[in-house]
Amino acid sequence: MSGFEYANAPESKAIANIDNSYGLFIGGKFVNPKKGKSFNTINPATEEILSKIGYADRLDVDLAVKSARTAFTKIWSKMPAKERGKYLYRIARIMQERAREFAVVETLDNGKPIRESRDTDIPLAAAHFFYHAGWADKLDYVGLGNKPKPVGVVGQIIPWNFPLLMLAWKIAPALAAGNTVVLKPAETTPLTALLFAQVCQQAGLPDGVVNIITGDGVTGAALVNHPDINKIAFTGSTEVGKAIARSISATKKSATLELGGKAANLVFDDAAIDEAVEGIVNGIFFNQGHVCCAGSRLLLQENIADEVLEKLKKRMSLIRVGDPMDKNTDLGAINSAEQLKRIQEISNTGDAEGANRWSPECKLPSKGFWYPPTIFTGVSQSHRIAREEIFGPVLSVLTFRTPAEGIEKANNTMYGLSAGIWSDKGSKVLWAAKQLKAGVIWSNTFNKFDPASPFGGYKESGWGREGGRHGLAGYLTSDVKASK
């Protein structure tokens, strides 16, 4: 062996008990879809089939909503709040106990590095349940007056980028507030949601409080349009978010929508450069860039641009791309062939429109879906790669001359989910944070999440907030007649 090459350090798959097939989780039991249809979920790193998943159509959705309604009226809304809290604590503890199993299944189904599912996704998902468990009997303090009421039955649709974490963001506050849910995981990543269904059984959660139906966009639309749903909570693309908003208009349904982003990561010339470079890497290459709040637009102050880019390229050549199950992998597989195609398509417009592409040398596996860490320099505001969400490991680099110009460019987008500020000067950080039109602003860090911190966007990045008191308020109403 010449030099310090890290030998393979694969996490064992033995702990993951993935069944050959899964039904739908309705009324506390796994049931076969009425029409018996199914689809496969694969490992995007190898294209191997992991399991056969039940496909829910309109009839199944109806059953799930009915089961949620029954559980809501008969059990969950009547249960003393502190008892609801106990169930949530129990779920949180079981998730922690089964954390390794969840991490392995998540990585197999999603393609993200095991280091991230192990150190970020699963611990944060459990943290969301712990946090909201504490809220269950303190809803009078959410800020909606005395005895706010749950909204009722909530339809929840989540994306494939953080399957279990997004489930936790949705289910934990809904249950704490006294709602029951029908949740649809993404078509390409249903496994951890189905594992979570087993956790609900293990925790003895009353039947029907959580229902999990698997399927595609048609399933999702059936859920959104079901007449007995009180609220829709959706995380996903702006395009689908708009369609949901249209279809629930002129109904009594409320919605929280957490949609796309094209976050600006602003690096000022007085920043801690080495740490800023780390933050840039974490901002765009964390989870293969499959992050709605990814720092996909890097805005560098012109007088430090060369230095930062040189350091960034050096740092990018250290990114370890490959087998997501290897504990040393930094960048895993793209979640699906479809997403890879989308990344390729938008990135190619970068070349066509005159930006300069750079990627470090890296060997990509022959099977599965992969995209190298990529940056484009010489990008201008008018380029598609500066405007559209790529949702992949592709960074567009722009420059600014004065702080005011930096802010102006940062805000010149139809999105407004997140932003990053890098400066060693506290006053400048506070000034910039005030000017930026984004729901989440990180200073001298990026992609940090906490259940207590509300998350959500401005403009086309969505409606409402998730997490913290603000997120919880979205699952409650002060109108006593609301959920009747």
Partner 1 sequence: MIVDGSEGSLKKFLADLAPVDQVGADSRAAMLATRSIKTTSKAWAIDMAISMVDLTTLEGADSPGKVKALCSKAVRPDPTDPTVPMVGAICVYNDMVKIARTELNTLGGKDIAVAAVATAFPSGRASLAVKKLDTQDALNAGANEIDMVIDRGAFLSGRVGEVFEEIKIIKQLCGDKAHLKVILETGELVTYDNVRKASYLAMLAGADFIKTSTGKVTPAATAPVVLVMLEAVRDYFILTGNKIGVKPAGGIRTTKDAIKQLVLVNETAGPEWLNPSLFRIGASALLNDLLMQRIKLRTGHYASANYVTMD
Residues with active-site annotation: 258, 292
Give the C-alpha separation, 209 to 375, whole Å.
45
Which of 79, 273, 362, 433 contacts partner 1 by CB under 8 A?
Answer: 273
Angle between helices 122-135 and 81-97 (to 10 degrees): 170
Which of 97, 228, 270, 338 contacts partner 1 by CB under 8 A?
Answer: 270
Residue type (1 letter), 151: V
Strand ranges for 268-417 from DSSP E: 297-301, 356-358, 374-377, 394-400
Total residues interacting with partner 1, rule: CB under 8 A: 25
Give the C-alpha separation, 323 to 113, whole Å.
8
9 contributes a contact to partner 1 by CB under 8 A:
yes
Nearer to partner 1, 7 or 250 (CB): 7
Which of 31, 81, 144, 272 contacts partner 1 by CB under 8 A?
Answer: 272
306 contributes a contact to partner 1 by CB under 8 A:
no
Select the span of 267-275, 390-398, 450-458, 462-470 touching partner 1 (CB under 8 A): 267-275
279 contributes a contact to partner 1 by CB under 8 A:
yes
Would you give the binding string for partner 1 spanning residues 396-435, x where CB under 8 A is met?
----------------------------x-----------
Longest dimension (CA), the chain: 72
Using the Cα atoms of residue 192, residue 194, residue 198 and residue 204 in order, give the sign of their dihedral: positive
Would you give the binding string for partner 1 spanning residues 109-138, x where CB under 8 A is met?
------x---x-------------------
445 contributes a contact to partner 1 by CB under 8 A:
yes
318 contributes a contact to partner 1 by CB under 8 A:
yes
5 contributes a contact to partner 1 by CB under 8 A:
yes
Nearer to partner 1, 239 or 275 (CB): 275
**Cβ-count burial of 247 within 10 angstroms (0-12 exposed, 13-18 middle, 19+ buried)?**
middle
328 contributes a contact to partner 1 by CB under 8 A:
yes
Strand partners for 269? none
Which of 58, 327, 342, 437 contacts partner 1 by CB under 8 A?
Answer: 327
Least distance to partner 1, CB of residue 271, Å: 7
Residue type (1 letter), 65: V
Least distance to partner 1, CB of residue 326, Å: 8
For 463-470, the CB contacts below 8 A with 24+ separation are: 463/245, 463/255, 463/256, 463/257, 464/255, 464/256, 464/257, 464/258, 465/256, 465/439, 466/169, 466/170, 466/173, 466/233, 466/235, 466/256, 466/258, 467/128, 467/169, 467/173, 469/142, 469/143
For binding to partner 1 (CB under 8 A), which residues are involved? 1, 3-9, 115, 119, 270-276, 278-279, 318, 327-328, 424, 444-445
